[in-house]
């Protein structure tokens, strides 16, 4: 199975269409007592007053992004207290990654950054039920991910990997992913 202690938290990040949701679900399905926590659900709960996540981020958008991360951290910690391993996925780029890591309480934490090539992300996005790139570009977000995000945890180029190969690579490199 895996050497992940339970409860624990596995944070999956990367740019839009990098495979976060798919990989997080597949990881959670392989764990005996797990939760797949989707960070974007907290943004979608805002009915009125939701700030647009457009480039460049407004102060309101950045504030709501931080709120989203805080709510997700609180939920993840609550699930861990109940004995679950949480696979939390969200877009966390730049110095915000350190902020999110600091929000975790005492549980073993594994950080996995999915970083397929921007051209692969563009192709994946074109075949999804929702196209996510409007004011952002895969190349721009990819550059921000690679240049501005702290290089902590496991960085995994999944350009040529299947879902199963990606999950296996994560489980096989848990020591690298642990923070």
Angle between helices 118-126 and 138-148 (to 10 degrees): 140
Q: Is 124 helix (H, G, I), strand (E, B) or coil?
A: helix
Comparing CA positions, the residue from 1, 3, 2, 4 lying closest to residue 109 is 4
**What CATH code is carried by the domain that includes residue 37?**
3.40.50.300
Give the per-residue pLDDT at 133: 52
Q: Does 72 map to a domain?
A: yes
Q: Which two tokens stand for residue 62?
A: 């950045």
Question: DSSP character for 107?
Answer: S
How many structural domains compose the chain?
1
Name the residue range of residue 124's domain.
Answer: 9-177
Give the per-residue pLDDT at 7: 95
Query: Which of left, alpha, beta for 135 (phi over 0: left; psi -120 to 50: alpha)?
Result: alpha
Q: Does 29 map to a domain?
A: yes
Q: Does 3 map to a domain?
A: no
Comparing CA positions, the residue from 84, 97, 95 lying closest to residue 31 is 84
Give the per-residue pLDDT at 106: 87
Give the per-residue pLDDT at 1: 42
Q: What is the pLDDT along the chain (179 residues), one digit of tens a residue?
A: 456 878 999 999 999 889 999 999 999 999 999 999 999 999 999 999 999 988 888 999 999 999 999 999 999 999 999 999 999 999 999 999 999 999 988 899 999 999 999 889 888 877 766 656 566 788 888 999 999 999 999 999 999 999 999 999 999 999 999 99
Give the per-residue pLDDT at 67: 97
Q: Cα–Cα distance between 99 and 109 in angstroms, integer?
A: 14
């Amino acid at each position: 199975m895996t050497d992940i202690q339970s409860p624990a938290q596995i944070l999956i990040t990367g740019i839009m269409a990098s495979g976060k949701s798919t990989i997080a679900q597949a990881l959670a399905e392989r764990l005996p007592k797990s939760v797949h926590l989707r960070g974007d659900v907290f943004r979608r709960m805002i009915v009125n007053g939701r700030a647009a996540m457009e480039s460049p981020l407004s102060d309101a958008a950045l504030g709501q992004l931080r709120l989203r991360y805080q709510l997700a951290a609180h939920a993840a910690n609550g699930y861990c207290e109940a004995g679950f391993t949480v696979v939390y996925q969200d877009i966390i780029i730049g110095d915000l990654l350190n902020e999110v890591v600091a929000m975790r309480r005492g549980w073993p934490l594994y950080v996995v950054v999915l970083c397929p090539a921007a051209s692969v992300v563009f192709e994946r996005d074109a075949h999804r039920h929702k196209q996510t790139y409007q004011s952002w570009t895969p190349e721009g977000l990819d550059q921000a991910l690679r240049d501005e995000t702290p290089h902590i945890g496991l960085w995994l180029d999944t350009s040529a990997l299947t879902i199963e190969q990606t999950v296996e690579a994560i489980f096989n490199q848990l020591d690298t992913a642990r923070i």
